[in-house]
A = this chain, B = another copy of it.
Amino acid sequence: MTATAPRRRGRPSRTESAAGPATRDRILAAAREEFAQRGYEKTSVRSIAKAAGVDPALVHHYFGTKEQVFEAAVEVAFVPALSASGAIDEGPLDGVGERLTRFIFGIWENPATRAPLLAIVRSAVNNETAAAVFRRLVAAQLLGRIARRVQLPDAELRATLAAAQLVGTAMLRYVIKVEPLASADAEQVIARVAPVVQGHLTGD
């Protein structure tokens, strides 16, 4: 059982006795799928529980509210990739634009990570609660780290404008599928986008 003590509501129930990390992961996978398919608003703790084949009480037990399940689903999709990439804000400062760009393209080009990211974007565009989760996790964690590395007076604004180039590129390439961007070779796009991201972060 993972350390989810703050969310516990009383003693483990009978339903829960079969549970464990595998159940938690199954709930998260189901949540990601539900949020991706139905969007934040139409997804409920009940529908997640049903998709995972567990009692809704177990979803509450592990995660709390729907917002908290959403946050956990975003985190599980995003943070491991972030840690794995690790070195975005490490390494030479003049390569940070390319590292960040390759990190974002890496998530979007991989079908396994594209789906949850799409779910996040769709939900954040449609729902204020989901937008708040996006701000906390993506903006604060990723952009905050980069802004601290940049160390210019307007580093945070720079980081959000760099993110804007990446978010917009992802939107037009992977979500709205505007040509010729949607079918362009990834390396060709990275070659154009990375210097722009670098320019936002450290340019004049």
Contacts and interface: CB of A to CB of B under 8 A. Distances in A.
A204 to B, nearest CB: 9
Contacts of A192: 157-158, 161, 200
Contacts of A178: 134-135, 139, 143, 160, 163
Interface stretch (A6-14, A49-57, A122-130): A122-130
A180 interface: yes
Given A121-B125, A125-B125, A171-B125, A161 B177 contact: no
Contact of A168 (B39, B125, B158, B167): B167
Interface in A141-180: 143, 156-158, 160-161, 163-169, 171-173, 175-180
Contacts of A167: 167-168, 171-172
Nearest to A161: B192
A199 interface: yes
Interface of A: 39, 121-122, 124-126, 131, 134-135, 139, 143, 156-158, 160-161, 163-169, 171-173, 175-181, 184, 188-189, 192-193, 196, 199-200
Closest 5 CB pairs of A and B: A168-B168, A164-B168, A160-B181, A167-B168, A164-B169
22 contacts: A39-B126, A125-B126, A125-B171, A125-B175, A134-B176, A135-B176, A156-B179, A157-B189, A158-B192, A160-B172, A160-B178, A161-B189, A161-B196, A163-B178, A164-B165, A164-B173, A164-B181, A166-B168, A168-B168, A168-B171, A171-B171, A196-B196
